[in-house]
Amino acid sequence: MLKISPSILSCDFANLESECAQMKEAGAEMLHIDVMDGHFVPNLTLGAPIVKCLRPKNDLFFDVHLMISEPLRYIDDFAAAGSDLITFHVESESDVGETIAKIKSHGIKAALSVKPGTPAEAVFPYLDLLDMVLVMTVEPGFGGQKFMGDMIPKIEAIRKKAEELGLSLDIEVDGGIDAGTAPLVTAAGANVLVAGSAIFGKPDRTAAVRALRAAGES
Ligand code: DX5
Ligand code: ZN
């Protein structure tokens, strides 16, 4: 099933509650929450206190994307804040197996992400432990960048491996996803679409979510 996860990085943070409420009304399944530490990526965004404040205001599935150097140190905080799924990077400094186990100890879903320069094979040893793999289709750090078409074979390779292992893994893509690129990534095997500027950058967000879903299903 195709799922749409609007990235709040492109929303109006002065109106976070209403911006996120609009995503629920627009029919999105998830909210993609980008956490950056100014070290793993050259940008700073938000932390667990914001997630905690938003939690009682919105019942969408919270898809938290940690772009931080030491995710293991912060899993407890983000889980307690109300995350439904936590994604961290295989390139981070934390032990991958330990971090997955820590996320799962909270009874929530775990995902691993790969930057554009990291091969698909980096996540293969962990596939049976994961609920989702996030394939970055831009260099993480900023919204509004151009989709990298050369990530398509990586999506295909992860889908193929998951099928070989008999796993019903979600594959999420993040960066430059819009109605033009959505059909390319879903054809390759992705089923969770993150979009920031292609949703929050549009005056009619409901139409934007609908257009993205239609494109992804085409
Ligand atoms: C980038 C973030 C993305 C970003 C996507 O590092 O992980 O989630 O918000 O923005 P768009 O959809 O505008 O490329
Ligand atoms: Zn993201």
The question of ipTM being above 0.90 is answered as yes
In the set 37, 131, 170, 174, the catalytic residue is 174
* Burial category of 148 from C-beta neighbours within 10 Å (exposed 0-12, middle 13-18, buried 19 and up): middle
Which residue is associated with the tokens 């799922």? 3
Domain boundary assignment for the chain: 3-217
CATH of 3-217, one of 3.20.20.70, 3.40.50.300, 3.30.465.10, 2.40.110.10: 3.20.20.70
pLDDT on residue 1 = 92
What pLDDT, on a 0 to 100 scale, did the predictor assign at position 45? Answer: 98
Mean per-residue pLDDT pooled into runs of 10, the chain (218 residues): 97 98 98 98 98 98 99 98 99 98 98 98 98 98 98 98 98 98 98 98 97 97
Ligand 1-lining residues (CB < 6 angstroms): 7, 9-10, 32, 34, 65, 138, 140-145, 174-177, 194-198
44 - beta bridge partners?
37
For ligand 2, the distance from its centroid to the CA atom of residue 46, given in whole angstroms, is 12
CA-wise closest residue to 151 among 141, 142, 159? 159
Quick one: pLDDT at residue 108? 98
Residue type, 119: P
Asked if residue 17 lies in contact with residue 8, where contact means CB atoms within 8 angstroms, the answer is: no
Report how far Cα 35 is from the mean position of its chain's Cα atoms.
Answer: 11
The per-residue pLDDT for 205 is 97
204 as an active site residue: the answer is no
Q: Residue 2's pLDDT is what? A: 98
Q: Is 183 exposed, middle or buried (0-12, 13-18, 19+ CB in 10 A)?
A: middle
Q: What is the pLDDT of residue 216?
A: 98
Q: Which of 135, 142, 148, 173 to mutate to test the pocket of ligand 1 (most atoms within 8 A of CB)?
A: 142
> What's this model's pTM, rounded to 2 decimal places?
0.98
- Cβ neighbours around 35 below 10 Å, total: 26
Q: What is the pLDDT of residue 147?
A: 98
174 marked ligand binding residue: yes
Q: If you measure from the C-alpha of residue 167 to the centroid of ligand 2, how many angstroms do you get, rounded to a whole number?
A: 23
Instruction: Map tokens 């994307």 to a residue.
Output: 65
* pLDDT of the residue at 77: 98
Q: Is 84 a catalytic residue?
A: no
